[in-house]
């Protein structure tokens, strides 16, 4: 993966590993959300065929990262030969660990949590000794308190932590809609100069949420337009990833997604 060319990739979904290898001409990199199983028959070929990116391996950076987690991350980085690591800007369990939601959930953008995220992300980045890209999570619930805007929080977070910005376009579309704002304007306010990786995914109506959420489908025209909008404003952009990690993902959907991304980016191997 070099800085003069944008890498186009997907997530490693072991149930479609064989088909992923077959479309190697469309995929440069794979993000690794879970370590491969010991008996994964395809992983060594996958490792030899694609750049692998460590993704979402800690939990939440509002708390200090302990040495055991850092050591595990270092092992995975060495195994994947990952050029950078990525983590979510999320908060999924309470401080005392009594309650957890076990799914991506955003923090509240307040001064005290900003200070904690900065300190812990900086410490993790330094401990890992390689670039660390942080991916914000959609805010769907709003609380009636004084807090920072997502844009202000992110500008200050990336500046002070030295981390890179992993921009998930679908996440920001959901956050923008929930805040009653235009998605393009919302994204334009974000620190795009720090973006090194972009995630794109499809969105669809979730019947429980009764609103759009990230789905296992190719990115639609709006997401692809916004991907281009962000990419054109991200001078450090190195990778664009189709963000679908699910057993519900089919090989055909993955192929349609990466073809659509390449088409819009004008990047072919």
Partner 1 sequence: MSVMTGRSLHDALLSVMADFRLRRELPAAELGEQEAAVLARVDADRLSRMARFLTRHYYRERLVRLYSHSAALARRRGLEPSEILDGPDLAEDLDTALLGSAATADRVAARIEEWFRRAYEEKGGPAYWPDLTRYEGAMFRTEAGRRVWTAGAAPQGTRPPRRSASARVVAFDIDVPALATRLEKLAPGDPVPWAVPRSPTRLLFTLSPRGILRVVRSNDALEGFLKLVDGSRSTEMIVECCGMDRSSAGAALRSLIDIGAIEE
Return d(Cα 40, Cα 14) in angstroms, integer. Answer: 8
Does residue 185 touch partner 1 according to CB under 8 A? Answer: no
Non-local CB neighbours of 121 within 8 Å, separated by 6+ positions: 61, 87, 132, 134, 157, 161, 163
Residue with token string 């921009």? 167
For the chain, how far is it from start to end, CA to CA, in angstroms?
13
Closest by Cα among 78, 64, 101, 97 to 32: 78
Measured CA to CA in angstroms, residue 208 lies from 10, 33, 147, 227, 263 at distances of 27, 25, 28, 27, 33
191, 164 in Cβ contact below 8 A?
A: no
**Is 25 or 98 the residue whose CB approaches partner 1 more closely?**
98
Does residue 68 touch partner 1 according to CB under 8 A? Answer: yes
Does residue 250 touch partner 1 according to CB under 8 A? Answer: no
Among 206, 232, 235, 269, binds partner 1 (CB under 8 A): 206
Q: Within positions 134 to 173, which residues make up the interface with partner 1, using CB under 8 A?
A: 140-145, 147
Does residue 47 touch partner 1 according to CB under 8 A? Answer: no
Does residue 38 touch partner 1 according to CB under 8 A? Answer: no
The radius of gyration of the chain from alpha carbons, rounded to an integer in Å, stands at: 18
**Is 2 or 95 the residue whose CB approaches partner 1 more closely?**
95
Does residue 180 touch partner 1 according to CB under 8 A? Answer: no
Does residue 78 touch partner 1 according to CB under 8 A? Answer: no
Return d(Cα 186, Cα 62) in angstroms, integer. Answer: 24
Does residue 75 touch partner 1 according to CB under 8 A? Answer: no
Does residue 74 touch partner 1 according to CB under 8 A? Answer: no
Return d(Cα 210, Cα 213) in angstroms, integer. Answer: 9
230, 167 in Cβ contact below 8 A?
A: yes
Least distance between partner 1 and beta carbon 83 (Å): 27
**Is 6 or 128 the residue whose CB approaches partner 1 more closely?**
128
Does residue 45 touch partner 1 according to CB under 8 A? Answer: no
174, 223 in Cβ contact below 8 A?
A: no
Among 73, 85, 113, 234, binds partner 1 (CB under 8 A): 113
Does residue 209 touch partner 1 according to CB under 8 A? Answer: yes
Least distance between partner 1 and beta carbon 96 (Å): 7
SS3 at position 186 = helix
Does residue 112 touch partner 1 according to CB under 8 A? Answer: yes
Considering only the stretches 77-85, 186-194, 207-215, 231-239, report the one whose residues sit in contact with partner 1 under the rule CB under 8 A: 207-215
Return d(Cα 104, Cα 77) in angstroms, integer. Answer: 22
Does residue 22 touch partner 1 according to CB under 8 A? Answer: no
Among 22, 44, 111, 182, binds partner 1 (CB under 8 A): 111
Residues forming the site for partner 1 (CB under 8 A):
39, 59, 62-64, 66-68, 91-103, 105, 107-113, 116, 140-145, 147, 206, 208-211, 213, 247
């Amino acid at each position: 993966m070099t800085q003069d060319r944008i890498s186009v990739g997907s997530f490693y979904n072991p149930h479609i590993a064989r088909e992923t290898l077959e479309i190697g001409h469309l995929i440069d990199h794979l993000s690794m959300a879970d370590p491969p199983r010991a008996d994964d028959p395809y992983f060594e070929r996958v490792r030899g065929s694609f750049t692998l990116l460590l993704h979402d391996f800690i939990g939440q950076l509002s708390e200090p990262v302990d040495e055991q987690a850092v050591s595990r991350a270092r092992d995975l980085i060495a195994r994947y030969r990952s050029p950078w690591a990525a983590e979510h800007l999320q908060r999924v369990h309470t401080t005392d660990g009594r309650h957890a939601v076990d799914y991506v959930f955003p923090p509240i953008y307040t001064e005290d949590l900003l200070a904690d995220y900065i300190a812990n992300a900086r410490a993790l980045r330094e401990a890992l000794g390689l670039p660390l890209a942080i991916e914000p999570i959609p805010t769907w619930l709003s609380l009636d308190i004084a807090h920072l805007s997502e844009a202000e929080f992110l500008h200050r977070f990336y500046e002070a932590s030295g981390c890179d910005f992993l921009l998930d376009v679908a996440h920001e579309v959901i956050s923008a809609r929930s805040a009653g704002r235009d998605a393009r304007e919302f994204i334009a306010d974000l620190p795009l100069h720090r973006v090194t990786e972009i995630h794109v995914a499809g969105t669809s109506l979730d019947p429980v949420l009764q609103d759009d959420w990230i789905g296992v489908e190719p990115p639609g025209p709006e997401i692809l337009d916004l991907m281009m909008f962000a990419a054109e404003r991200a001078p450090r952009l190195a990778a664009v990833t189709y963000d679908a990690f699910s057993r519900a993902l089919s090989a055909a959907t993955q192929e349609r997604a990466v073809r659509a991304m390449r088409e819009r980016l004008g990047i072919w191997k």
